[in-house]
Amino acid sequence: MAMELPVRPRRLRSTAVMRGLVAEYAVRPEQLVLPLFVAEGLAEPRPIGSMPGVVQHTLDSLAEAVAEAAEVGLGGVMLFGVPEQKDARGSGALAEDGILNLGLRRAREAAGDDLLIMSDVCLDEFTDHGHCGVLTPSGLVDNDATVALYAEMAVMHAECGAHVVGPSGMMDGQVGAIRSALDTAGQLDTAILAYGAKYASAFYGPFREAVGSSLTGDRKTYQQDPANLTEALREVRLDVAEGADMIMVKPALGFLDVISAVRDAVDVPVAAYNVSGEYAMVEAAAANGWLDRERAIDETLLSIRRAGAQVVLSYWALEFARRYRRG
């Protein structure tokens, strides 16, 4: 016997067409950014053990990946450089022939303006101590000296072809200094994707293999405490006031509430980084047959979008875009 129910929410789930019609959120390739690692001294791409399917690229394979990213309609790529030699000041970051600068040039040649070329403005890949800046004699990261180097890096990246620079070191005043340096150099159209809420997270573990990190200690004096939300909102408002064009929240899955709060707090686009540890967890579980890999990927990306991110950085971006194009 049928119940007398005037409201039956299941009616809107009855078929695939109905579900598609009333879907509130979606993920499209143009909202996704693919992080890419380009390493010095490689003859062929080198697999990253803790991130199945992800590699350190040669300059040639990087150009191929960038060209494919443009072809399938991704919004952008974010480049990270992996040098052979490191020193205390991260000198390779500011070398004309440094691997990241070379990679940016090749990426821009491969994609032109069909894809946004984004750069990581940070020193951690280039320093022998693995921190995101230069150190004081007592071993602390020197905020102001580091910011000055970030400003130089950002200008170099723009001159090498970056459409967007992404200062990720969480130094005070980094956005304002970079905006001023870019404008002074005539790079008025180069956008800043500011890592306004980057947390000192355990989920960066595989990334450290990806960039050959030599970190000793931790980054808790400059990256944010995962316990804090109000602090994140203060940080992102400061970044917007200093000239940030977009705001990044990193990581994503453990910080969906932060993404939502940041979305409500600012009037610029919000991005979120689906980080290496989040990627590795799904890949490991799928390899063991514990979950449906493609569905888990789709739900992960959708959850980040639903939380409020307009832009999602993900190592699955290229794979997702290929499937999207196949329907």
Q: Reduced to 3 states, what is the DSSP secondary structure of residue 46?
A: strand
Question: Which listed residue (198, 236, 244, 271) is catalytic?
Answer: 198
In this structure, what DSSP letter does residue 27 have? -
User: Residues 6 or more apart from 174 whose CB is under 8 A from it?
Assistant: 146, 147, 150, 167, 194
304 contacts 263 by C-beta, under 8 angstroms:
no
> Where on the phi/psi map is residue 232: left (φ > 0), alpha (ψ -120 to 50), or beta?
alpha
Q: How distant, in Å, are the alpha carbons of 5, 20, 102, 118 from that of 267?
A: 42, 29, 34, 21
The DSSP secondary-structure symbol of 90 reads: -
Q: How far apart are the first and last CA of the chain?
A: 40
Catalytic residue among 250, 274, 282, 308: 250
Q: What φ, ψ does residue 315 adopt, rounded to 5°? A: -70, -10
Q: Return the axis-axis angle of helices 99-111 and 59-71, rounded to nearest 10°.
A: 40
Q: From residue 64, how far is each of 60, 157, 162 by CA, in Å?
A: 6, 20, 17
250 is a catalytic site residue: yes
Catalytic amino acids? 198, 250
